Chain A
Amino acid sequence: MSLLSVRNLKMHFSVSKRLFHGPSPVVKAVDGISFDIDEGETLGLVGESGCGKSTTGRSILQLLRPTSGTVHFGGKDLTAMWRPSWGQWKWSEELRQLRQQMQIIFQDPYASLNPRMTVESIVGEPLRTFSTARGGELRRQVQDLLQRVGMDPHYIRRYPHEFSGGQRQRIGIARALALNPQMIVADEPISALDVSIQAQILNLLTDIQAEFGLTYLFIAHDLAAVRHISNRIAVMYLGRLVEVADRDELYASPMHPYTKALISAIPIPAPTVEKKRQRIVLKGDVPSPMSPPTGCRFHTRCPVKEARCEVEEPAMREIESGHQVACHLV
């Protein structure tokens, strides 16, 4: 059985409420996506900026309350655990307890650590909130965590500004590990780091996955890094999934025209290979999610579109075992 099961998840935002200007426009950041992640598996979620991949991660974690759809974690529907309170939606105690098992690593190691807290209080905060450890016991646990992510445990009294980007990302990872979670959502965890540091952090994520038996949702736009770390990959475009397949299957035989273009656009660091490659260069930009195109959302840039693509939205279909595509022409 899957650890995480997402069904028809939608996350819409209303942009501004201007009086007498009709209904306020709605950004459909995530507009009906479904997927599963098995225990111990890594699902890579790729797509370009604005396609809704980070919003997907946040609505799975209930950092945002999904507009509709369900998110089952370990068989329990998280979206049903919100409670109304004084006109606002709040987490129930059940959700709060369950969320210990799901943590997040953020993209920007500069913005995601409080500059006025020491490393000890940053990494220890989840423990202070949820466990009974205090004082020396808490400090020992924080030092263990720092050691686990490859940092000197003597650094506990230092502040985030004393560290480089890669070290800060390690602190963020230690914080995510503090409550021994089952699942981690890694939201672009390496894209803000220097090239020589990216491999270090990818290796660390691989190591702790084996050690703690973690399940990952790995969100990124770098298809080469996603290919390295994922078991399966889901490709997202304008709030929708367009293709889901096993890692090797997706790169060996991509079926959706967007996936094909995306893979062909990734430069390969080898001049002899690179200069011979045929590249599919897509025309135009990603349309606004406020007014997505009718029919297939990709039709405005698709090199092989037909008439029906403009009117009829393609459904996700399983073409081969484990390989799903949403395209009329497949």
Chain B
Amino acid sequence: MTQPLISIRELHTHFRTDDGIVKAVDGVSFDIAAGETLGIVGESGSGKSVTCLSMLGLVPSPPAFFPRGEVLFDGLDLLQLREQELKDVRGDKIAMIFQDSMTSLNPYLTVERQLTEVLEIHRGISRREARAQCIEMLEMVGIPSPEKRIDQYPHEYSGGMRQRVMIAMALLCKPRLLIADEPTTALDVTIQAQILELIDELKRELNMSVILITHDLGVIAGTTDRVAVMYAGRIVEQGSTEAVFATPCHPYTRGLLQSIPRLDDPTVEKLFAIPGVPPDLSALPRGCPFHPRCDSVTDRCRVEYPDIVQFGNGQWSVCWEAEATA
């Protein structure tokens, strides 16, 4: 395998809270190759957003602390960098887009001010030069008459258009890695289709790598090369998107895939449902955190956290049952 673009090793992000230590991310490892799209799926609280925020040093510390782990990018460990050094990476080589474009853009500043600022800081060019590049970028993400719209404020844009502005802002410095945290969750399906197509086009044009965080397995299926499934702060299964969807090895992945109604399935009277609720991170059960909801639980699952089981083709999962069948 070629040298990965970024490599996350045993990342731990814990929070000190009044209820004790919350292990939001508890030993997450993955690599991303250049030009690859990795999907991270999981429910709210599974640690998918915190993983990506930690990579960029965007988690306030305290209350967060990082007992172990490294994020290797360009021979640097991002977790060890000082704030000033991190600022050179963030927004330049690694960019992020967020779910809610209304709260992520500054309502008091015009789109022009918010976009040109990026280039002024990272490229050191004048605002006038930056403006031309920004208009070009807005055109690229499909904003009609960008030379007029650039002087408007975020509230004058629709939800889909604001998300495009966010993407334009993220791509201004031609980053090598784009982290998209639920970029389409707040959008309607017809707009979602537009935005996903746009990210895919731009990715190929700029040869970027992308991390796509979402809870929508349909979005993952259509847009990613590899997928990591997170549960209670850890990755429970990882592999090529084809392999994970065709032969899911972790009971949680299997349950998720069975429980969502699909447009191309014959309709059934009752859906399969995973019992129980997502776990409370400050009071995780012993052993495998999924065991109270698992349909193939054994005594061993209640006491011991499972080991990683490799399945050849790059797919792996952490489950005692998978170990028995592998």
- Residues of A bordering B, CB below 8 Å: 48-49, 164, 166-167, 194-200, 202-203, 206, 221, 223-225, 227-228, 247-248, 251, 261-275, 277, 279, 281-282, 285-286
Is residue B264 contacting chain A, with contact meaning CB distance below 8 A?
yes
Query: Which secondary structure dominates chain A's binding surface?
Result: helix
Which residues of chain A are near B190, meaning CB under 8 Å?
Answer: 48, 261-262, 265, 281-282
Give B259's nearest chain A residue, CB to CB. Answer: A199
CB proximity of A210 to chain B, nearest CB, Å: 10
Which residues of chain B are near A164, meaning CB under 8 Å?
Answer: 277-278
Would you call A271 and B242 a contact (CB within 8 A)? yes
Which residues of chain A are near B83, meaning CB under 8 Å?
Answer: none
Would you call A221 and B188 a contact (CB within 8 A)? yes
Given contacts A269-B217, A271-B221, A274-B218, contact A196 B194 (CB under 8 A): no
Which residues of chain A are near B219, meaning CB under 8 Å?
Answer: 267
Interface string of B253-283 (1 = CB under 8 A from A): 0011101111110011111111101100000
Give A272's nearest chain B residue, CB to CB. Answer: B242
Which residues of chain B are near A267, meaning CB under 8 Å?
Answer: 216, 218-219, 221-222
Would you call B242 and A225 a contact (CB within 8 A)? no
Q: How far apart sit A114 and B274, CA to CA, in the bound complex (Å)? A: 28
CB proximity of B239 to chain A, nearest CB, Å: 11
Given contacts A202-B271, A206-B270, A247-B267, contact A268 B277 (CB under 8 A): no
Given contacts A265-B189, A269-B257, contact A281 B43 (CB under 8 A): no
Which residues of chain B are near A200, meaning CB under 8 Å?
Answer: 273-275
Specify which of B193, B274, B277 is in contact with A281 (CB 8 Å cutoff).
Answer: B193
Is residue B160 contacting chain A, with contact meaning CB distance below 8 A?
yes
Interface string of B133-158 (1 = CB under 8 A from A): 00000000000000000000000001
A sample of 5 inter-chain contacts (CB < 8 A) reads A48-B191, A195-B256, A196-B256, A270-B221, A285-B158
Given contacts A195-B256, A269-B218, contact A206 B192 (CB under 8 A): no
Would you call A203 and B273 a contact (CB within 8 A)? yes
Which residues of chain B are near A275, meaning CB under 8 Å?
Answer: 222
Would you call A225 and B189 a contact (CB within 8 A)? no
Which residues of chain B are near A270, meaning CB under 8 Å?
Answer: 221, 245, 262, 264
Is residue B44 contacting chain A, with contact meaning CB distance below 8 A?
yes
Would you call A268 and B221 a contact (CB within 8 A)? yes
Give A47's nearest chain B residue, CB to CB. Answer: B188
Cβ-closest 8 pairs across A and B: A267-B218, A48-B188, A199-B259, A199-B273, A269-B217, A228-B261, A274-B222, A265-B193
CB proximity of A268 to chain B, nearest CB, Å: 6
Which residues of chain A are near B158, meaning CB under 8 Å?
Answer: 285-286
Given contacts A167-B277, A194-B215, A274-B222, contact A268 B264 (CB under 8 A): yes
Specify which of A206, A261, A271 is in contact with B269 (CB 8 Å cutoff).
Answer: A206
Is residue B161 contacting chain A, with contact meaning CB distance below 8 A?
yes
CB proximity of A278 to chain B, nearest CB, Å: 12
CB proximity of B134 to chain A, nearest CB, Å: 21
Would you call B220 and A269 a contact (CB within 8 A)? yes
CB proximity of B293 to chain A, nearest CB, Å: 8
Instruction: Name B212-263 residues within 8 Å CB distance of A.
Output: 215-222, 241-242, 245-246, 255-257, 259-263
Would you call B271 and A228 a contact (CB within 8 A)? yes
CB proximity of A49 to chain B, nearest CB, Å: 6
Which residues of chain B are near A279, meaning CB under 8 Å?
Answer: 193, 197
Would you call A224 and B262 a contact (CB within 8 A)? yes
CB proximity of B162 to chain A, nearest CB, Å: 11
CB proximity of A16 to chain B, nearest CB, Å: 16
Given contacts A164-B278, A267-B216, A269-B262, contact A285 B160 (CB under 8 A): yes
Q: How far apart sit A239 and B161, CA to CA, in the bound complex (Å)? A: 22
Would you call A273 and B273 a contact (CB within 8 A)? no
Would you call A228 and B267 a contact (CB within 8 A)? yes
CB proximity of A236 to chain B, nearest CB, Å: 12
